[in-house]
Amino acid sequence: MNKQNNIVQSRNPLAEVMPELVKTARGDKTASLVIENAKLVNVVSGEIQPDIDIAVQGTRIAYVGNDASHTIGEETVRIDAKGKYAAPGLIDGHCHIESSQITPKQFARAVLPKGTTGGFFDAHEIANVLGLQGLRLMLNELRQTPMAGYMQVASCVPSTSTEFETSGASIGPEEVAEAFTWGEDMIALGEVMNFPGVVFGDDKMMGEIQETLKAGRVADGHYTWPSDDWRMSAYAASGISGDHEVTSAEQVIDRVRLGMYAKLRRGSAWHDVVPTITAYTEQGIDSRRLMLVTDDRSPESLVDEGHMDFVVRHAIEQGVPPVVAFQMATINSAERFGLSQDIGSITPGSFADIIILDGPLPEVNVQTTIAAGIVVAENGEMTGDWVSDSYPEEAQQSVHLDPVFQAEHFVMEAPSGTPDGTYNARAIQVRENHVDTKEEHIHVSVQNGIVTRPENADVCKISVIERHGINGNQSTAFLTNVGFSKPAAFASTAAHDSHNLMVIGNDDTLMAKAANKVITMQGGVAVVTEDDTVTYPLSVAGLMSSEPFEKVAEQSRAISQSLAAAGCTMNYAFMTLSLLALVVIPELRLSDKGLVQHTDEGFVHVPLLVR
């Protein structure tokens, strides 16, 4: 690869470069790049245009038409598309970079060759560990890549309130207002997960949304209540205008009818496009407020399946016409965030974010990626490279626990005075390829004040331990459907959204060993069985590795393989398990402060024992 940073481009506002674009379009200035003989995927008009030339001046497009010969000079870089498709660079309308366990520069290295040239990134994972400092770290590194990367201010730090969980930081209206002063690429308020707080007028949530609207930005949503009553209107009335928590066609239609954008998600383990896309393919809802997004993609799925190219292919396989699928992954997202003048289409004045496809359009086989007017990837490989930033000590020393855990730390005590006997206990039932869980009741025994895990059933313990050095809380509950077929334990600091230390297992001694391994690494993942230990360091805030994404993908794959060897064969099991402490998702979750259940009024603590 070439010298590092040789592909990082500035993205100047249109007003600064407009005169040069006009000169180029009329032939008075030589284009820096010209693509000739392309089939243009025109996402604005919804058509394929044959025999199109595209002339670029610097970072933006100056000319689109049938003959760009008048813009070509001796210094012009010429690309003969030879009749191949040219499409706008793909845009991820909702993504958490940290969920890929790689830093922004490594994320760009992973997705640019696959045709993703831009995205709207919600860094609420690192914000829950480091607050605004974490958000700035992500933004500053993203700015050093050629991507059209836009950051959102984390709205829910913590995701609900300190009554239900302990995070490492807190963000409120003042912090939101400050973050919007950092630049125009601080584009929106990140997903507002505390939807009960919005509906019932919580001062903090109201204040954050007000600061967003005053700054001329938009607010993203996260709403999991039924959408067919007054509460959905109250949520939309707040100004929240997009939502990715849609899992059915009806939910999509309900949101679009209220003026919102519906984001159809296909992450590594969240397979929501199949049921939601039927709002368009079967029920005929207008597609221009539908967006394709990933939300969360594991590093090995980026390698094995792809990024937005994979999601677009997947949508086409569900019956979406190819041009419409490209609209859902380009212009629709740009329009949703008010950036259609800059990104999302191949039109004069827009940034020159262009992909050239090899083969039929539905295959979305990206041959060449151009970002801000520079060829950054060809045939699946970057044309230049860079190294990841070094991170401050507080980002690399974020696990404030000592590796002193032993089996007795995972013993479950019954409430004081509980008589010996058999009881029903709440258990969290994990669901493959779904973000939600189900509440299940299992039979347990209480002897001498100790709640005993059923030995002959697929029941694990799950424990969440506060790791930010605030209170040292620990809560333990039951978990089903993990599938462990032998003694095993899994521990991780990637535990959405407060990212405390989460430990899952069916053997207390192994749970303690796994917890200590992760603490010693200062964050990451460990899978421990009686005859093997596999570790996966995530030294940046306990969430990301600064290693090259290829190495990180193999480390993540090793975790998946070790889980499968222990009997947990869920698709991308690590991704699914990482959500079990995310208290804003139905139906039952565990935080460091105990079990949290969803009701029509909001979130409530519930006891372990039902009777």
Segments making up each domain of the chain, as ranges: 87-389, 394-610
pLDDT tens figures, 486-500:
999 999 999 999 999
Q: Is the pLDDT of residue 7 over 90?
A: no
State pTM to two decimals.
Answer: 0.95
Q: Is the pLDDT of residue 12 over 60?
A: yes
Query: Average of pLDDT values for 28-36?
Result: 98
Q: Which residues contact 506 (CB under 8 A, 6 or more apart)?
A: 453, 459, 460, 461, 484, 487, 488, 489
Q: Which residues contact 11 (CB under 8 A, 6 or more apart)?
A: 59, 148, 342, 351, 372
- In angstroms, the CA 29 to CA 57 distance is 9
- Residue 91 confidence class, pLDDT cut points 50, 70, 90: very high
**Residue 283 CA, distance from chain mean position:** 28
pLDDT tens figures, 315-364:
999 999 999 999 999 999 999 999 999 999 999 999 999 999 999 999 99
Q: Which residues contact 203 (CB under 8 A, 6 or more apart)?
A: none
Distances 159 to 124, 192, 349 between C-alpha atoms, Å: 9, 8, 39
Q: Is the pLDDT of residue 1 over 50?
A: no
pLDDT value of residue 6 = 64
pLDDT value of residue 4 = 43
CB contact at 8 A, 155 and 143: no
The owner of tokens 């040789």 is 6
Which tokens in the block code for residue 542?
């306990």
Query: Average of pLDDT values for 18-25?
Result: 98
Homologous superfamily assigned to 87-389? Metal-dependent hydrolases (3.20.20.140)
- In angstroms, the CA 577 to CA 112 distance is 28
pLDDT tens figures, 376-388:
999 999 998 877 6
Lowest mean pLDDT among 7-11, 181-185, 215-219, 515-519: 7-11
CB contact at 8 A, 606 and 426: yes
**pLDDT above 90: percentage of residues in the chain:** 93
Q: Is the pLDDT of residue 174 over 90?
A: yes
- Residue 2 confidence class, pLDDT cut points 50, 70, 90: very low
Q: How many CA atoms lie within 13 A of 204 on its CB side?
A: 19
pLDDT tens figures, 536-586:
999 999 999 999 999 999 999 999 999 999 999 999 999 999 999 999 989
First-last CA distance in the chain? 64
- Residue 62 confidence class, pLDDT cut points 50, 70, 90: very high
Of residues 393, 397, 391, 399, the one with CA closest to residue 518: 399
Q: Is the pLDDT of residue 611 over 80?
A: no
- In angstroms, the CA 306 to CA 304 distance is 6
- Let me know if 258 is exposed, middle or buried by CB neighbors in 10 A (0-12, 13-18, 19+): middle
Query: Average of pLDDT values for 530-538?
Result: 97
Other beta carbons within 10 Å of 312: 26
Q: Is the pLDDT of residue 187 over 50?
A: yes
